[in-house]
Structures are given as structure tokens and as C-alpha cells.
Amino acid sequence: MEVVQSHRKSSSNNVIVSILPLYRSAPPLEVRLEDFEFFAMDRLRVLKGISDGLCRGKKPEEMEKLVVDLWKANMRHPQAVEEVNKDIISHFVLRLVYCRTEELRKWFLSMETTLFRYRFCLKSSEAQRALMSEFKLPYKAVSNAEFESVKDNLGQVARSMGQTLAAADAIFYKVPFEEVPDLVAGRRVFIHKGHAYVAMNQVVSLVVTQFRSFLSKALILTNRKWTSTIREQEKDRLTPIVEALCTSYQGPDYSQPQEFGEISIKDIDQVAKTSFPLCMRHLFEKVKEDHHLKHGGRMQLGLFLKTMAWCSCLMGVGLKLDDALAFWKAEFAPKVSAERFDKEYAYNIRHNYGREGKRTDYTPYSCQKIISVTPGIGDHHGCPYRHFSEENLRAALVRMGVSSRAVEDVMDKVHNRHYQLACTLTFEAVHGSSCDAGINHPNQYFIDSQRVLQSKNGSVA
């Protein structure tokens, strides 16, 4: 797969067309640089959606519908051949993105395997058998004579799952039991002399095991190639894209609001208590307490305040530049003189508003970016769900009004490293309202909070 600046060759003759791609080797395509990134972003939306669904404990039938909806919303293309291309290209781009650390590899492997599982299950029996053939699985269907000898046992297993044994033309495979651990653990197969009898509608477990094994090895090999050659060779072109993709944000753009309004500094204390997510509330409390924040904290909180939404009817009311300067100057005053503030801090605030330097209107940080940072000693930015000690996090949640039972649910997500879901559960506990979309951005938390409070009180809190 070669990345080019302006064009991509594609035809049915040079595309690996499969009922369901197995991603054995990179496709012989030339890919436009913008497609390299956009295709990956679209697939990442699918994988993130799957991750959220799994973390929320969705049932298999709910997950199947979710995968279908996510794929339709993000991976479809008017031309069938281009859809296949997008599927394969996006997988290999994200393989490059997520090969770089053990944690990234583990997440990508889990999400891609889950995606493959549900896509396989949606195929016809004929297509599934074709895929089994592509994997060259060394299993043969059980003969009629052997089927008859174990038919009663197979029937008992089927009935235990609320099913009936398939008709006379049912296909079963006899495989070593250790190759289908999920089926064995769920008591969904008959085991005899070290072998499990796997029905045709269960062969997804066999195929997924092979797929996961292959992809796991491929990620290790990709990491070696990335480290030894690709990263340096592409340092001015692909490397910045690859390194940014795993923390990229795919939600609404809070940096360019449709309307602008004003928010008084006197209102901030109240809305910080009612509608700030924990990461911003902690920073806000610290600047009030210490009268200072290091650069990382000033950036994280400052950009949030800049684009903070005020109510459901105004999509972009935030703190104006003059008020932002006044806010930071007042909070720093006990430790920083007015002259020093103007000399050392005012420039950076104006810079964030696009009034200095490159004149870039900087965007507020997404949850993914906040989670990915590593605060140093004396820093207060980052994600509290990831960086706080358990004791400090529990105390912070209680101060926000989270009940004891809800705190345990939040901590369960934290222990499993589902930090955004922990924030979502916090939102739901504080507001007594569901947040099905999940929290993906601090400004989203604020907007949704204000909407809930407005609907409950008839006015913005």
C-alpha cells in the first residue's frame, strides 16, 4: 500500500476482494494522503462505538445491531469496490496506528476481533464455509454415523440453551476442546474424549480464534517495521498522522460555535459546581485554592472556558477574551503581580484566542486527549479517573454528589480502564438522567448538563 499526495488507482483487478476481508496482506493500492486519514477516522468511529457498547454490557443481539448501524453510518461507499477498498485500507492504517504499544495493540486486537465476529455472524452459511476454507482450518464435518452416535448428547446441549437440534442435514465439526474456550466455558458444546462437537452456527468461535491469533502476530511484526524503518522514513508526512490518530476526537466541533454570546465571570462559580465535568471542576477548584496553575492546566481549563456552551439554544457562548484575561488575572493576583501577569501569562491567553502568533483559534481538548497526557509533579490537568488515587477519586465523586452505590459503579469502570464510561456514569448519577451517547468531550458534558438542568428547572442553572 503506497500513500500518494493527490490520486489513488483502484480497479477490480488490483483489489483483494473477499466475502469478508481477512487482512492477510496490505492491498496493492495507491492511497491519497487525505483518504489515509479519513478512512482511518471512519473505522475508528466504528471501533470506539463497539468499545462503548461492550463496556455498557450490551447483549449479543444489541451488539449485532450496533455493529450494523456503526458500519452503515461510517464505512459505506456508493461504489461497492470502493467500500471494499475503504474497509481494507482503514484496517491497515489503524494497524499501523495501534501497533506501537502493548496497551494500544491490546485494545485494537479486542475491537477488531469483535467487529470480525459480528460481521462473520451476519454472513450466510455458504459464505461462512467459504471463509473457513480461506483460513484452511484442519477440521472435517462429522460423518452421519458419528453424528447418530452422539445425537442424544448434542440434543441435550441444544435443549439446555433453549434450542432444538438442527435437522438431519445439520453440520457439526469435531475439534480439540481447547480451541473453543468460550463455547466450553458457556457449556454450549458436547465434549467427548478431549474433543468438542461444534455446530455450524457456532463455527464463528473457530474462525475468530484463528483471526485473533493471526492479527496478534501481525501487530507485533508491524510494530517492528514501524520502529525500525517507517517512523523515520515518514517523519515529515505519515508519522505525525499516525501518532495523532489514536487520540483523535471524532465528535462535534466545539471550537467553531454557530453563535457567540457572553457569560459573566460572576456566573462561573455556580455553573462550575453544577455543570463542570470532574476534570474541569478539579482545575477550577485548584486555581481558586492555589491561585496558580501550570501551563498544562491553564491550557486545558482555558480552552474549555473559552468555548463553554451556555444553554441549549446557544451553541457557542463562552468566555470572551477580555473576560478570560480578567478571570486569570484576578485568580493569579495573590501570587502574581499585574505587571508579571501581563508579561508572562497574558500572551498565552491571547494566543489561545487566535490573537497572537500563528493566529490559530485553538480547539478545546477532547476526553481522549486529556486521558492520554501524563501530568507531572505539581500538575493538575489530565483525567482524574485515570490519574487520581482511588482515595482521592472517591472523595471527589462524593463532593460532586454521587451516591455510594454509584461511586462503586464508577470505580468498577475505572479499575477496568473505561475512563470515559466512568465519567458518563458520574454524569448520570449527578443529573439523574441517562447519557446514552456517552461522554466524549468536556464541553459536551457541560452542554448536556445545562440542558438537563434547564428541562428540570425551566431555566439554566
Q: How far apart are CA 34 and CA 39, in angstroms?
A: 8
Contact 317, 259 (CB under 8 A): yes
| Cell numbers 508579561: residue | 343
Residue 99 assigned ligand-binding role: no
Sign (positive or negative) of CA dihedral 33, 36, 37, 42: positive
- Take residue 340 and report the three cell numbers written for it: 508579571
Is 423 annotated to bind a ligand? Reply is yes
**435 belongs to an annotated ligand binding site:** no
C-alpha cell at 146: 458419528
Q: Which residue type does 406 have?
A: A
Q: Are 88 and 36 within 8 A, CB to CB?
A: no
Cell numbers found for residue 307 = 468555548
Residue 223 vs residues 142, 218, 338: alpha-carbon distances, Å: 41, 9, 51
- Minimal CA–CA distance to 382: which of 279, 287, 302, 290? 279
As annotated, the binding site includes 279, 367, 383, 423
As annotated, the binding site for [4Fe-4S] cluster includes 279, 367, 383, 423
